[in-house]
Amino acid sequence: MRLYPFVFFAFLVSCGPAVRTGNTTTENPVANSGTGMSSAEFSVSEVTRIEKVLSADDMQGRGVFTPGIEKAASFIASEFERIGLEKSANANGYQQAFDLIRPAFKSATATLDEKIIEQKDIIVITTTENLTVNEQSGYEVVTIPKGGEFFNEARKHVNAGMNRLVMVDPSHSANFPRLTNFKRQMMPSVNSTIFILGETVPSKFSISAIHDIKKAALSNVVGILPGTSRKDEYVIFSGHYDHLGIGKPLNGDSIFNGANDDAAGITAVIMLADYFKRTGGNERTIIFAAFTAEESGGFGSRYFSQQFDPAKVMAMFNIEMIGTESKWGKNSAFITGYEKTDMGKIMEKNLAGSGFKFYPDPYPAQQLFYRSDNATLARLGVPAHTISTSKMDSEPYYHTADDEFETLDMANMAQIIKAIAISSRTIISGADTPSRVNTSELR
């Protein structure tokens, strides 16, 4: 789960040390009954095995562009192999590789209506090495006025897939330098966004920017279980396997293990793949996806979503941070963006009598729906939600070096994974098809 946008930028500037606030204790959850599934299907020892490997110190916090994340990808691929999932046609094995661009700024100049702009007031988000633009280059000139959600508006311009010159009202000058965070990592694009701090919309302009364009490879890990009768209808189970890597040492520990965020979600994806492969007979095709680069902007799910027709995706169960007890206690979880489709209602119906309860997200102010990989597919209309148990108003180890295996409850996690399997039953069989997300209502 990503930080809230504004906090996220602050975090990138100073990957701050964590505060140790004490240890949690875990107890065995009460076994439930009436699910038609034995608990051996989701064994605590198997959940423990997978979670321990993914959150171990030798994965170095699974930071993007590190050997640690490569190691994690190989492990997930080896699990998909062991289970016997199929590989997607357009990937090299289970790993779906793609390039991200990391532009290094060299220089920029701008003249607007004959007025020379200082370099510090120009930020160009581009994957083009030498960019030269004037009023005849077809750039749309827009503004970010005073007030409003600055980073949100800026993000919309960057992601619009258009060439834009964005005049930023000087009231945003304190936050303006942070726009450079948009070019820490970028998808290759023919479009550029030029931000200039200034009030007036120019009729004539001449702008140039030079960057050193570096490419770096990343990969998602994807495995498939083809459907029996509805092969062209997909159901996705996903999580993200990247985390924050290595930060400042605290009590001698500098590794952000991300045991809950989101080794827990990947553990669920592997357990679910194993379960559905063993039971077989899934009418719809099931895709199991471990995304990369979620924490730094959701690049893995973005690349993934471009590899198929989103209209074929009937549902996405994205799983994030299910290793601790929810605010309602054991055997419960919440669904982000609950009101955006009827998928949550279908899941609840399937859970009736099982002893599990899934609730609408109790932290709507935190915008969790937009802070994980489900959002990318939801923006394409897919009923895509994140399932979590994380107490987002009080989770003590969220994004700290203390997000470690020892703080998680393996028995409860096994139960939650089982509940996800039960909740998806009629969606996998084709008996239920969730309503689509109305994309015009998304922010």
Task: Determine contact, residues 427/348, Cβ cutoff 8 Å.
Answer: no
Q: What are the beta bridge partners of residue 234?
A: 285, 313
Between 1 and 316, CB nearer to Zn ion: 1
Dist. CA 195–CA 17, nearest whole Å: 32
Report in angstroms how near the CB of residue 294 gets to Zn ion at its nearest: 7
Between 1 and 197, CB nearer to Zn ion: 1
Report in angstroms how near the CB of residue 415 gets to Zn ion at its nearest: 23
Residue with the two structure tokens 């095709």: 285
Between 127 and 388, CB nearer to Zn ion: 388
Helix/strand number for the chain, H first, E second = 10, 16
Task: Determine contact, residues 217/99, Cβ cutoff 8 Å.
Answer: yes
Report in angstroms how near the CB of residue 427 gets to Zn ion at its nearest: 26
Helices within 84-177 (DSSP H only) = 150-158
In 136-192 the beta strands, taken as DSSP E runs, fall at 140-144, 164-168
246: which 2 tokens? Answer: 């290595």
Report in angstroms how near the CB of residue 357 gets to Zn ion at its nearest: 25
Angle at 30 between CA 24 and CA 35, to 5 degrees: 130
Report in angstroms how near the CB of residue 309 gets to Zn ion at its nearest: 29
Report in angstroms how near the CB of residue 399 gets to Zn ion at its nearest: 6
3-class SS at 61? helix
Helix (H) or strand (E) holding 407: none
Closest listed residue to residue 241, CA positions, set 375, 74, 98, 371: 74
Q: What are the beta bridge partners of residue 315?
A: 235
Helices within 213-342 (DSSP H only) = 264-279, 299-305
Report in angstroms how near the CB of residue 190 gets to Zn ion at its nearest: 31
Between 7 and 201, CB nearer to Zn ion: 7
Contact residues: Zn ion, CB under 5 A: 1, 261
Between 261 and 274, CB nearer to Zn ion: 261
Between 59 and 144, CB nearer to Zn ion: 59
Closest listed residue to residue 187, CA positions, set 260, 102, 262: 102
Between 165 and 264, CB nearer to Zn ion: 264
